[in-house]
Homo-oligomer: A and B are copies of this chain.
C-alpha cells in the first residue's frame, strides 16, 4: 500500500474510541450463533465504517477539527487527500469483510442482508444523515432527533440488525433489537450532544463544536430540563426492551451495554450540571 495511505490507516485504527459499535456487533453476532472469527470480521467492518465517517467529519470542509480522541487529526498529519483516500480504503475493506460474512449465510437470507446494508449505509442511511447534519437549520427537539436518527442510529441498527437477519432470528427478537438500536442511537447521540455543549472539554475533541458550526445538538436546541427528561426516557425505554430480550440468555451482553450507556448518561449529565471549575479562576479576574 502507498506509504502515506498506510500510515493514515494505521493512525486511525491504533487510536480506538469507545468501540461501542464494535462490541455491539460482535456480541450480536455471537448471540445469533455465528463463529467468533465471523463475528470479528463483522465487528471490524462496522468499526471501519465508523472510523471512515469520523475521518471525513474532521475535514476542513466539514467540521474542521484539529484533534480526535486526543491526537492530531489525520488530515493535518498526512494531508486531506490521504485522509479522504484512507476513509475510502476503510469503507472498501469493510465491504470486503461484509462480503466474506455474507458468503457464509444461506442464499435465501443474503438478499435481505444486502437490503439492510443498503438501508443503513447508503443514501437512505448514514450518508443521508450526514447530509442532513450539514444542512441543519436550528429547529426544535423533533428536528434534532430526526437528524440523530439519520446519522447515528444506522450503524447501531446495522450492528444489531444484521446478525438478526443473517441468523433469521424470530421476528419478535428482530423487532426488539431494532427498537433497542433506535433508543441507543438517539441516546448515544444525545450524550455526545451534552458533552459537546458542556465545559470543560474532556473528550479528546474540541467541545463547543456544535454551537460553533451550528450543528444539531439536543441540549442547545431544547435546554437542560427537556434534554434530561428526554434522555432519561430513552434510557428507560431501552432498558425495558433489553429486559424483554434477556430472558434468552444469549442476549445477556445487552444488559451490560445498557448499564454502560446509562452510566455514561449520568456522568455526562452530572458534568453538565457542575460548575465550570476550569473557567472559575478566570471568572473573577477582569
Contacts and interface: CB of A to CB of B under 8 A. Distances in A.
Interface of A: 1-5, 9, 56, 59, 61-62, 79-82, 84-85, 88-89, 91-93, 95-96, 99-100, 102-103, 107, 110-111, 114-115, 117-118, 121-125, 127-128, 130-132, 134-135
Given A1-B124, A5-B123, A114 B96 contact: yes
Nearest to A6: B123
5 contacts: A1-B123, A2-B131, A95-B121, A99-B114, A107-B107
Given A2-B135, A132-B2, A135-B3, A96 B81 contact: no
Nearest to A63: B81
B102 A107 contact: no
A256 B115 CA distance: 36
A27 to B, nearest CB: 24
A69 to B, nearest CB: 21
Given A95-B95, A96-B114, A96-B122, A135 B4 contact: yes
Given A80-B61, A135-B4, A103 B96 contact: no
B81 A128 contact: no
Given A1-B128, A2-B132, A5-B131, 15 more contacts: A1-B123, A1-B131, A2-B131, A9-B123, A56-B84, A61-B79, A61-B84, A89-B128, A92-B125, A93-B118, A95-B121, A96-B114, A100-B114, A102-B110, A103-B114
